[in-house]
Chain A
Amino acid sequence: MSKEQAFGRKPVAILEKIRENLERLNEKIEVMIELQRHDHRESPTPIQDVPLDVMTLLSMPDHLRKTAMTVCRSGRATADEIAQQTCRARAVESAYLNQLVLMGYLKKERKGRKAYFFAERDVEGER
């Protein structure tokens, strides 16, 4: 976006853009904190397409299983929606969801200001 275009827009729109960027930054920081907490030193490059099957769910640590199970049941959901179901803080769920994305179990898709999380099978749709 050119400077002229940016200044031509209403202040509310600019503030929205700043808020959107701050949210993205916040999510990235949450992932970094989560990775540090679990002593992951490798670079956070997502692993591609790891199936989220029941045996994988069983072998997960409890805190991630709860999040992953909720996504499985919901099909497609935001961190907010998952947090409502698990009764944990949105920031916590956001960190867990992003960790599951990095581990290759979930996919993340951004639509406007909202980020949706889902397991790969939903891409193909249900009959």
Chain B
Amino acid sequence: MGKIIAVHSYKGGTGKTLLSVNLAATFAKLGKKVCLFDLDFRAPSLFAILKIPTAENWLNDYLNNTCDINKVLIDISSRIPGKGSLFVGLANPSTEAIRDMSAKDRKWEMRALGRLLHLRNALLNDQHFDYIVMDTSPGLQYSSINAIVAADLVAVATTGDRSDVDGTSRMLKELYNLFEKKTGIVLNKVLDSTAKSRRDELYDRVKNVYKVPLLGMVPCFCEVLRAEGNFIFSQDKPDHPFSALLTEMAKKIDANEVK
């Protein structure tokens, strides 16, 4: 049975999209059948990262109940080496669509949750997908919380920023915990990650402040910043340490090590 992973964070700019794309690509490289969804309807970005400027149907249409999920999926498996497959579902980046998604009422959001929950049957059970990776908006947005409720595992990207640490620990207690979600922390943009004292300090924070398993500790790589979103590291730079960290993270999730 496949898994749904929601990639979330308290603040913006923590690396959710980078993590989502590379995690999905890594799973595909490991031979899995994977689906990557852009659920950040306020600031869609997967279309740009993956260089797919337009789509016939968007995830917006699926959530609006105007099309089937298979009409939304775009097969980009040819970009991934090996036997795995990678599909994406994009959020509509037009200003009109962003405005439309921001103005939805509670009833629509309730139905959108039903449509997301339905993906478990439609994709995991019927079409035997191994993973659905959902990239979300930061903070307490409807679309993000819907994704969290639908997910089996929440990967929370966080940096060392004081406000991020505070917000993330509050979300762990008051959001993921209330929904009884398995949660794993990804410490991103870590400075001085090779120093033992620094690593110990961060392990200590995960253990005593976040109190959830650590999925991975990702150093602040200048190459990642320099790439300006033009590479999928796990695919274009397979030998880079960032790709190795992602592989380690994917294997940890696949082995069900996040309890």
Q: Which of B25-33, B107-115, B247-255 contacts A (4 or more CB under 8 A)?
A: B107-115
**0/1 string, A56-81, CB within 8 A of B gives 1:** 11100010011001001101000000
Residues of A contacting B146 in the complex (Cβ-Cβ under 8 angstroms): 54
Q: CB within 8 Å of B: which of A66-112?
A: 66, 69, 72-73, 75
Q: CB within 8 Å of A: which of B109-141?
A: 109-111, 113-115, 117-118
Residues of B contacting A75 in the complex (Cβ-Cβ under 8 angstroms): 117
**0/1 string, A32-54, CB within 8 A of B gives 1:** 00000000000000000001111
Q: Which of A2-10, A13-21, A22-30, A119-127 contacts B (4 or more CB under 8 A)?
A: A119-127
Task: Give A117 Cβ to nearest chain B Cβ, in Å.
Answer: 15
Interface secondary structure of A, over-half rule: helix
Interface residues of B (CB under 8 A from A): 65, 67-68, 106-107, 109-111, 113-115, 117-118, 142, 145-146, 148-149, 175, 178-180
Taking A53-B107, A58-B145, A69-B149 as known contacts, 15 extra A-B pairs with beta carbons closer than 8 A to each other, sorted by chain A number, are A51-B106, A52-B110, A53-B106, A54-B149, A55-B109, A55-B142, A65-B178, A65-B179, A66-B180, A69-B180, A75-B117, A121-B114, A124-B111, A126-B118, A127-B65
Interface residues of A (CB under 8 A from B): 51-58, 62, 65-66, 69, 72-73, 75, 119-122, 124, 126-127
